[in-house]
Amino acid sequence: MEHGGVFEMALEQLGSTAKLLKMDPNTLRVLGCTERELTVHLPVVMDDGHIEVFEGHRVQHSSARGPCKGGIRYHQDVTLDEVKALSMWMTWKCAVVNIPYGGAKGGIKVDPSKLSFEEVRRLTRRYTVAIMPIIGPHRDIPAPDVNTNAETMGWIMDTVSMYQGSTVLDIVTGKSIELGGSLGRREATGRGVMFVTLELLNRMNLTPAKTRIAVQGFGNVGSVSADLLKKAGCNIQAISDISGAYYCEKGLPISDMIAYCSTGRGKTLEGFSAPGVSKIDPKELFELDVDILVPAALEKQINVENAEKIKAKAVVEGANGPTTPEAERLLIKKGKYVVPDILANAGGVVVSYFEWVQSIQSFFWDEDGVNANLKKVIVSSFDAVWDTAQREKQDLRHAAMMIAVSRVAKALEIRGIFP
């Protein structure tokens, strides 16, 4: 049975990578800690006049290679432990694709579906003011994550701008185009998953036309990944969201499912039907005889309980931390590839970096330019990870971690310890 929180899982990954790199124990000590953890309590006047107090966090793991960067999630299961782990993974994610950021993450323990639009807006503005002392365009740049979006980022940007007395476009990324957002940002994480999957298929001598895929999660990452992989010629046989799992051997009508979600109440697939589509148990999705499994929901979805039943030849991690270390060891032992989250879903932070650069320069790129630059970064990063794995006889996660951790460690060593 697996124990410990997700931060322990992140530390375990770092520890095993440090051994492979023969890292200086002093450097490991520094990288095993976060730089800053802020917990805030947020009183919000609810629509009926009573006051609720919500707990929020913002954690900065490392600023060795540049300002901290990371999303903000609104979820009823948010904990400090989870936010710490996510901030560490962000550090490695930025380093593996070689963009000049360190990792941060934020979250509020709340189920936003139980709040009104105005209550969410008031909560967001209050949270922004509470974390304002530690965020900034050259300090820590938030972005959307689970249950937050471009609208949320607009409120954060506006709140900071009101306090500063001038419009601060580069305080957050993932904004609306009208507020200095980047074209292609919304699809960036899913597009990155698509680029990585196609590169992997190439190495596995599989063509998209002969590839069957199951995607767990149909939020921004899952839906865009499924849509783009289908457009690339793959057969998306299964999809799941909180309403259940949907299966079609000949391939699901992904664009219809996306359209259904955008109009339906609650933005889920609840009640969706189409010829040849059947509902299956969400647990079954992991056990399907497919080539690629894309977990694109939350952490720890692939664990010792279901890893043995996974038939897919490869797992491409669309979500952060969806595979526990024990489960991953079982998968690798069975000869399966696991493309780690820090590489597979790095498309979002890469285009966030592009957005930040565009905001600073007040010079904006066209969408083809954004997507072409994203492809260049993701494909070259995948090549580097694949080559390292072959050379060092390591799995893809350890190869990605070796590249990422050594870059951060090098920056730390060059800078030295202050004072």
Q: In sequence order, which residues have a C-beta less than 8 Å from that of residue 12 and are 6 or more positions away? A: 325
The answer to whether residues 58 and 135 touch, using CB atoms and an 8 Å cutoff, is yes
Q: Is 105 known to be catalytic?
A: yes
Q: CA 355 to CA 176: how far, in whole Å?
A: 11
Q: In sequence order, which residues have a C-beta less than 8 Å from that of residue 156 and are 6 or more positions away? A: 72, 124, 128, 142, 171, 172
- Tell me which residue of 316, 299, 310, 301 sits closest to 333, measured CA to CA: 310
Catalytic residue from among 84, 105, 109, 313: 105
The answer to whether residues 240 and 216 touch, using CB atoms and an 8 Å cutoff, is yes
Catalytic residues: 105
